[in-house]
Amino acid sequence: MPCASLLPLAHLGHWLWVFYVLPVLIVVLGILWSTIAARRRERGEAGESDDGG
Amino acid sequence: MSWLPFAHALVARRDLPIPAWLFAWGASVVLIVSFFALSAAWRTPRLERSSWRPLGPRLSRALLGPPTQVLCGAAGVSLLGVAIYAGLRGTEAPDRNFALTFLFVTCWLGFPFLSALLGDVFRPFNPWRALGRAAGAGFAAIAGQPALHLRYPRRLGRWPAAIGLLAVVWLEVVYGGSGGVAVGLSPEPVAVAALLYSGYTLAMMALFGVEAWCENGEVFSVYFGMFSRLGWLEARDGRLGRRRPLAASTRWATVPGSIAVVVASISSTSFDGGQEGAFKGAIESATGWLEGLGFGALTATRLADTAFMVLCFAGIALVYLLGVRGMRTVRRAPSFAKLRDGFAHTLIPIALGYLVAHYFSLFVFQEQAQFTYLLSDPLGTAHTDLFGTASSGIDFKLLSENAIWYVQVGALVVGHVLGLTLAHDRALAYWPDYREATRSQYWMLAVMVAFTCFGLYLLSAGNG
């Protein structure tokens, strides 16, 4: 069976929007990762100061 | 007439060096780099303080004195009169009638572009303000005292202008776009709408006062005035002065309904851009579904278009509010309401970027018509040639397809970088620690990247 009949290449254009969503997703994931890391760090610092006190 | 890109200025591109979606990635990288550059180099708020400095008194007198005001006001009233007359008495062919190009291109697009550069240039030319002030002066001369007005309800704020803005765009792209005319509206409904709007505006000015209504409810004053906050000229107490560009926008969103105005601006441009491109399939499906429910074809089209316009408004508002919600998670964040109102002005350059990106080529092409054959033959009857230019045409080769695309991408990127700059400056005013301010702006960065990619997707889908 030829590949062209298996791959819906004619409809590839319908999925081009994915390429426009990806940068947004990457930025949002980066923000979430950074926020979680900052929270963990803050919690760790708070825990250390409690132990020291 | 189908060749005339009246609804929005999108043309086909064929020979870009890279796929269109890569421009969205490139634009996102530019935004991220700008964000970190701002974080590193901009650590105190610079736009919050008033930076107005008066220009020479002679220049102020020449530009703001009563003779100039009367002349500008008379010019505004006369041109509105010509547009209404052309709409009522002129040809039904939209591209040959002065009314449509003058109102929807020269004024609707020209004033935002000019205001963003210079300041509030619409104010002296505002025909309704001129008429209202003349009526007020006449009343005072006859009655021996100035007219009394109701106090404008503060809670109402700019909501009448936001609703009016959506109504104007609805008239152009929904009512006109689905009226079976390829280029949108026919001139007569535009003239009737202008007459109705004039009556409504003058009545509101009589109720609340000319300046109060222009500040809050008069659609065009509020809309063009919003862009004027980016410009560098400002009149205060009869003196013309210069200020730091962008700085006046920081004091714009202090009135309720301001967010609705700027969101209405972005969403209406988005809808206009997507109507024949990105949203076309979905609008057609919704139209078919409504026809299945028993609505006529025209009503179904208008209902579907209206629903998508409202969805665009809700979507843009939601993305902005999510960004605000994200900022709230940062330590020592102000209240949600304060953040929501405090960052609304950061959307003004984005609204301008969207406007330039979507309508730049339409403006360049249609202004050739405006200042040649439409000026010589305003009614489009082919019997008049006032300036000898009635037989001129539009040179569509003035802009290449690639040049239009690069202007579109450039406008979107610059608009969003300016938005980021405004947001960063405001965050520094709200968070004393610049590291927390920077962290709060991660969320606005996401908002800006989302709006940039969405804008480029609309343009590429419309162009494709």
Nearest Cα residue in chain A from B30? A23
The tokens describing B441, both together, are 């702006």
Nearest to A36 by CA among B323, B439, B444: B439
Residue in the block written with tokens 């480029």:
B456
Is the pTM higher than 0.80? The answer reads yes
Contact B449 A13 (CB under 8 A): no
Per-residue model confidence (pLDDT) at position B331 = 86
Q: Which two tokens stand for residue B299?
A: 């009503």
Q: Note the Cα B183 to chain centre separation in Å.
A: 20
**Residue-wise burial string across B158-169, b where 16 or more C-beta atoms lie within 10 A, e elsewhere:** bbbbbbbbbbbb
Tokens 């505004």 -> residue? B76
Q: Beta strand B239-242 with B53-54: parallel, antiparallel or unpaired? A: antiparallel
Q: What is the pLDDT of residue A9?
A: 61
Q: Using CA atoms, how far apart are residues A20 and B24, in angstroms rounded to an integer?
A: 6
Q: Does A46 touch chain B (CB under 8 A)?
A: no
Q: Which pLDDT belongs to residue A50? A: 66
pLDDT, residue B95, reads 86
Tokens representing B350 are: 């984005």
Q: CA-to-CA distance for B145 and B150, rounded, in angstroms?
A: 16
Q: Which residues of A touch B278 (CB under 8 A)?
A: 17
Nearest residue, CB atoms, B446 vs list A13, A19, A24? A24
Q: For each successive 10 residues of chain B (464 residues), what is the average pLDDT?
A: 40 63 91 94 89 89 92 97 95 90 93 95 96 95 91 95 94 72 71 96 96 96 96 91 93 94 95 87 93 91 94 96 93 93 96 93 92 92 89 88 90 94 96 90 93 90 65
Helix pair B401-430, B434-463: axis angle to 10 deg: 160
Average pLDDT, chain A: 77
What one-letter code names the amino acid at A33? W
**Token digits for B201?**
């505006």
Q: Which pLDDT value is given to residue B149?
A: 92
Q: Chain B residue with minimal CA distance to A24?
A: B450
Is B329 within 8 Å of A24 when comparing Cβ atoms? no
Cα(B118)–Cα(B116) distance, rounded to whole angstroms?
6
Length of chain B: 464
Cβ–Cβ gap A24/B326 under 8 Å: no
Secondary structure class of B234 (helix, strand, coil)? strand
Cα gap B72→B54, rounded to integer Å: 22
Which residues of chain B have a Cβ shorter than 8 Å from any chain A Cβ?
19, 21, 24-25, 28, 32, 278, 326, 329, 439, 442-443, 445-446, 449-450, 453-454, 456-457, 460-461, 464
What confidence score (pLDDT) does residue A53 get?
44
Is the Cβ pair A31, B28 closer than 8 Å?
Answer: no
Neighbours of B74 (CB within 10 A): 14
Angle at B88 between CA B84 and CA B91, to 5 degrees: 115
DSSP for B365-408 reads HHHHHHTTHHHHSTT--SS--SSS-TT----TTSS-HHHHHHHH
Predicted ipTM?
Answer: 0.79
Per-residue model confidence (pLDDT) at position B33: 95
Query: What are A29-47's pLDDT values in tens digits?
Result: 999 998 888 888 888 877 7
* Partners of B236 in the β-ladder: B239
Percentage of chain A lying above the pLDDT 90 cut: 25
**What tokens appear for B332 in the block?**
């020592």
Closest to B358 in 3D by CA, of B3, B11, B1: B11
Element (DSSP H or E) covering residue B366: helix B348-370
List, in order, residues 6 or more apart from B290 with CB less than 8 Å away. B299, B300, B303, B304
The answer to whether A15 contacts chain B (CB < 8 Å) is no
